[in-house]
Amino acid sequence: MSILVAGGAGYIGSHMVARLIEQGQSVVVVDNLSTGHKDAIDSKAKFYEGDVRDHKFLDGVFTAEPIEAVVHFAAFSVVPESMEKPLKYFDNNTGGMITLLEVMRDHNVKRIVFSSTAATYGIPTSIPIKETDPQIPINPYGESKLLMEKIMHWTDVAYGIKFVALRYFNVAGAKPDGSIGEDHGPETHLVPIILQVAQGKRDELSIFGDDYDTPDGTNVRDYVHVMDLADAHILALEYLAKGNDSQAFNLGSSTGFSNKQMLEAAREVTGKPIPAKVAPRRPGDPDSLVAASDKARDVLGWKPQFDDVHDIIKTAWKWHSTHPNGYNDRK
């Protein structure tokens, strides 16, 4: 039997594929390569190029392959872009989920692990954020993912398709051997942007706002290493295979770092000066986002290996410094 990884050519999906292959699993990847990279997919995985919204294509994959469970990463995830193009997000993210669940239902596949997000909470009512806290998104990205969670709830009720929704906080880092990593075009995320400045690919970092209600005035985020995240998905697959009920889990480190602290940590790791300036706030940024992640630790037995942002940045730096042009350097 095989695990289907939808979005397995993307940043997080490709690390998941690598982890599954390390575990000796048979892996089928579906990806339309709209943001992912073919070279990011482990060569031992079987790759089908296509779109999760394409019912006929997906039906063909499920007919050809013995799929026992699905891990779903195939979604757009850039908050500011979602504010400008909400329909793009509802179409690909929410629409893609409907097609995927239809095909799972038709082929009697009953388990799915899904990439949800801290963005489903909107402005937190308390820090750290618990899974039971209100989910009131403040951007279409978060709304599209919340709808996906709700759709999965109802397909569980109707068809018994069990799900685990993993609500990611800020994912960073790369496979420690430096073979795969983060490569978005254009890049919008803090850690890779800081490292591009360290590489000399950008002149300086713009810190978006220093007048937030946080200790140093810059936003506070909770950083989790991409391989720890992959491990949580493996545990979630095992949790569902044991016949457990559908659940949502936060995935974070339970520790917040401000944008200025991340910059300082990157300066220490890289030994580069990394020039920075304060720029206006970016729309849609909550002051702080920090996870309560004891539920994932207690219920799934999740034990993140990377608990220091320096170590997270170190692995990202290995990828960036050996692949200054991202996957173009692997061709």
Residues contributing to the site for ligand UFG (CB under 6 A): 77, 79, 117-119, 169-170, 188-190, 193, 205-208, 219, 221, 259, 282, 285, 289
DSSP conformation letters of 148-209 = HHHHHHHHHHHH--EEEEEEE-EEE---TTSSS----SS---HHHHHHHHHHTSSS-EEEE-
Contact 3, 69 (CB under 8 A): yes
CA–CA separation, 195 and 153 (whole Å): 39
**Closest-CA residue to 201 (of 279, 255, 270):** 270
CA–CA separation, 67 and 147 (whole Å): 25
Q: Which is nearer to ligand UFG, 73 or 169 (CB)?
A: 169
123: left (phi over 0), alpha (psi -120 to 50) or beta: beta
Contact 122, 138 (CB under 8 A): yes
CB of 211 to ligand UFG, least distance (A): 12
Contact 230, 158 (CB under 8 A): no
Q: Classify 49 as helix, strand or coil.
A: strand
Q: Which is nearer to ligand UFG, 67 or 152 (CB)?
A: 152
**Closest-CA residue to 248 (of 162, 172, 161, 155):** 162
Q: Which of 121, 141, 212, 223 is catalytic?
A: 141
Q: Does the active-site annotation cover 141?
A: yes
Q: Which is nearer to ligand UFG, 14 or 155 (CB)?
A: 14
CB of 219 to ligand UFG, least distance (A): 3
CB of 188 to ligand UFG, least distance (A): 5
CB of 120 to ligand UFG, least distance (A): 8
Q: Which is nearer to ligand UFG, 180 or 220 (CB)?
A: 220
Closest chain position to ligand UFG (CB)? 219
CB of 244 to ligand UFG, least distance (A): 26
Question: HSE-up of 54 (CA within 13 Å, CB side)?
Answer: 13
CB of 38 to ligand UFG, least distance (A): 23
For residue 35, how many other CB atoms are within 10 A of its CB? 18
For residue 75, how many other CB atoms are within 10 A of its CB? 24
Q: Which is nearer to ligand UFG, 32 or 259 (CB)?
A: 259
Q: Which is nearer to ligand UFG, 32 or 139 (CB)?
A: 139
Q: Which residues are tagged catalytic?
A: 141
